[in-house]
């Protein structure tokens, strides 16, 4: 299976998927936007495929109201880490209300830790008991 990359993501596909789900559940654009606590204009633009990097927090709120897995929307938006999960930064944005500077610092710290353990001699998990 070919991994999803930003270049292979079609924002119109995500938009039509959200629109289909919205209509099946009987929501208008304004109704879904209100239920998910997102701006109706943002939702309309999402459905029309105008966002190449939609706000992961808004996607999480939509997923909750539409009763689907958040990861489904993340993958369609191209926010993919490993195993179908969103990447670290989209996850932080969706899960925590942090300023961009804090997210940048966390990402840099995570990359340092990851590099340390990836370069650890023996190639295994360096944590005790693992």
Q: DSSP characters for 7-22? A: GG--HHHHHHHHHHHH
Is residue 87 within 8 A of residue 80, CB to CB? The reply is: yes
What's residue 54's pLDDT?
Answer: 93
Query: Looking at the domain assignment, is residue 1 inside a domain?
Result: no
Distances in Å between the alpha carbon of 60 and those of 1, 72, 121?
25, 10, 39
Give the model's pLDDT for residue 83.
Answer: 52
Domain-embedded: residue 111: yes
| 130 and 67 belong to one structural domain | no
Model pTM score: 0.62
What is the structure's pLDDT at 47?
97
Residues of the chain with pLDDT under 70: 1-8, 80-86, 94, 120-130
pLDDT of residue 19: 96
Q: CA distances (Å), 38 to each of 61, 85, 88, 93, 107, in order? A: 8, 23, 23, 15, 26
Same domain? 117 vs 127: yes
pLDDT of residue 4: 44
Cα–Cα distance for residue pair 49/45, rounded to 1 Å: 6
Residues 83 and 50 in one domain: yes
Domain range for 88: 6-97
Predicted pLDDT at 127: 44
């Amino acid at each position: 299976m070919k991994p999803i990359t930003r270049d292979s993501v079609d924002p119109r596909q995500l938009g039509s998927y959200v629109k289909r789900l919205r209509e099946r559940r009987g929501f208008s654009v304004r109704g879904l936007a209100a239920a998910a606590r997102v701006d109706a204009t943002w939702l309309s633009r999402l459905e029309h495929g105008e966002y190449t990097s939609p706000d992961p927090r808004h996607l999480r709120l939509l997923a909750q109201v539409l009763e689907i897995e958040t990861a489904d929307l993340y993958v369609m938006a191209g926010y993919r880490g490993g195993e179908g999960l969103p990447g670290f930064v989209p996850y932080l944005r969706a899960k925590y209300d942090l300023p961009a500077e804090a997210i940048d610092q966390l990402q840099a710290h995570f990359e340092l830790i990851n590099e340390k353990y990836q370069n650890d001699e023996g190639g295994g998990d360096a944590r005790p008991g693992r």
